[in-house]
Amino acid sequence: MAGPESTAEMHGIFNTTAAEYDQGGVEFFGPIGRNLVEFAAIGRGDRVLDVGCGRGAALLPAAAATGPEGEVIGIDIAENMVSYAERDAREHGFTHVTTQVANGQSPGFPPGHFDVVIGSFSIFIWTYGPADLEPYSRLLRPGGRFAVSAPSFILKPGEKWGFLPEPVHDLLFPHLVDPKDPDGYDCPYSNVRNNWLASQKLAASTLRQAGFTDITVWEEDRQLVLDSGMQWVRWTQTHGMRRLWQMLGEQEREELANEVADRLDTTMRKPDGTLTVPHPVVYASGHAPAQ
């Protein structure tokens, strides 16, 4: 799992982006959160833990699915994220939802407490293999369900990561996989070549080694609809990819942003003026062993 330094960096990135996270008019995390809740088969009365809940993209749909008979807890390392999630849960009238600041790597709940543990675009950040996933199995009752969503780490021919738009892959990929500080946080993007989500087969094998059964791995090509290339750039600066931009000096950051935006505008714009950028997403689930 990620160490203390990376935990501090994750906190800083997501605490800083909380006000803008998923708020720029780009439909991405919300639909994925709803899909994850459906994929995890969350139902009435379930006790659910949302690990790395952010502003509630999966937390709120989970609360709607469980109904007031259920219990939904959202945890996040960033207190600003938790504050927004708590506010939105109250605005929706979800009195059965609680949120708290906590490190998703060690949630600290009693064994067997939950029917479902989910992580929407979160758990992949600090997990690298079976040992990192085992703690979530222990939180589940026998036969309970674990489900995550994440960017697909399947590499296309030429070592091209499908989560990056093809026209700007050569501009951004080196910054993601070759950290400027060799002693810095080994973020999940720098692990893209051997991530546990690098194939459906590897994802299933990793979950199986972590003790899960009845494993399902599903992928979708989520289409991001944008007004401009610069909107895509700004979107990447409001979530985990913000780290890429923070690593650059001001002038290099501005030049790279302009080049990325220009390439997207000139190569991916449709006749109606919009840009549609594919972002492959993977969903993976398994059950805790039945006793």
- Per-residue pLDDT of the chain (291 residues), as tens digits, is 444 335 777 788 888 888 888 887 888 999 999 999 999 999 999 999 999 999 999 999 999 999 999 999 999 999 999 999 999 999 999 999 999 999 999 898 999 999 999 999 999 988 889 999 999 999 999 999 999 999 988 777 777 888 889 999 999 988 877 655 554 444 556 666 668 888 899 999 999 999 999 999 999 999 999 999 999 999 999 888 888 888 888 999 999 999 999 999 999 998 888 899 999 999 999 999 987
d(CA 27, CA 19): 16
Helix (H/G/I), strand (E/B), else coil: 262: helix
- The phi, psi pair for 26, rounded to 5°, reads -105, 120
pLDDT at 5: 39
pTM confidence score? 0.92
d(CA 83, CA 79): 6
* 146, 120 Cβ separation under 8 angstroms: no
* 118, 49 Cβ separation under 8 angstroms: yes
pLDDT in tens, 47-69: 999 999 999 999 999 999 999 99
* 210, 137 Cβ separation under 8 angstroms: yes
